[in-house]
Chain A
């Protein structure tokens, strides 16, 4: 089976940097994905790591270390619209999600 752990909540001010950590246990996977979900909305894809290392997509970056069973999502230059839930998920054609981290951005 798959299990993922991430912090339940993070609060930060506009313009700050936030790092959401994700640790996982798995018998096998192809990569680690990150999704964003606003209240009442659909999960939307943010980033994917197939290999160890850093992937950068605009203000968002994601990192994976398979040897440490660990990844993180880095949100830079936080904006109010970034207030949402963020999920890490293990890819194995289907997705296995963590419980999510609620990010609250304050003015």
Chain B
């Protein structure tokens, strides 16, 4: 398992519920990113972790969205009080050190549907 993995692959929930999306980055990668992709659009940046800390969370749309990476590897994106507009594919990516010119490796995404 050399790539970025994400679970679950699909998540259906009801409006107002809480969801957690998990990302396992490539082993040894210190930089981890979350993006959100709506249908027909490119991925949109949400948050960037360097190690355990969130170095840039400027893309989180509001305070219902929160992400953690407590041990510097696995990350969880948490969405409270989900809304239908949160429906999208949530992508996770990792890179070796977070350098400006490093390749980011993406996982297959979690498809979230809020009914």
Shortest Cβ distance from A76 into chain B, in angstroms?
22
Contacts of A52-107 to chain B: CB distance below 8 A: 87, 89, 91-100
Q: How far is the CA of A43 from the CA of B6 in the complex (A)?
A: 14
Q: Which residue of B lies closest to A42 (CB)?
A: B106
Shortest Cβ distance from B29 into chain A, in angstroms?
14
Q: How large is the interface on B (under 10, 10 to 19, 20 to 34, 35 or more residues)?
A: 20 to 34
Chief secondary structure at chain A's binding surface: strand
User: Are A97 and B106 in touch, CB under 8 angstroms?
Assistant: no
User: Are B43 and A99 in touch, CB under 8 angstroms?
Assistant: no
Which chain B residues lie closer than 8 Å to A48 at the CB level? Answer: 101, 103
Q: Identify 20 residue pairs between A and B in the complex whose beta-carbon atoms are under 8 Å apart, listed by A's number.
A: A31-B101, A33-B103, A40-B108, A42-B107, A42-B108, A42-B109, A43-B106, A48-B101, A91-B100, A92-B100, A93-B48, A93-B56, A94-B33, A94-B45, A94-B59, A95-B104, A96-B45, A97-B42, A97-B43, A100-B42
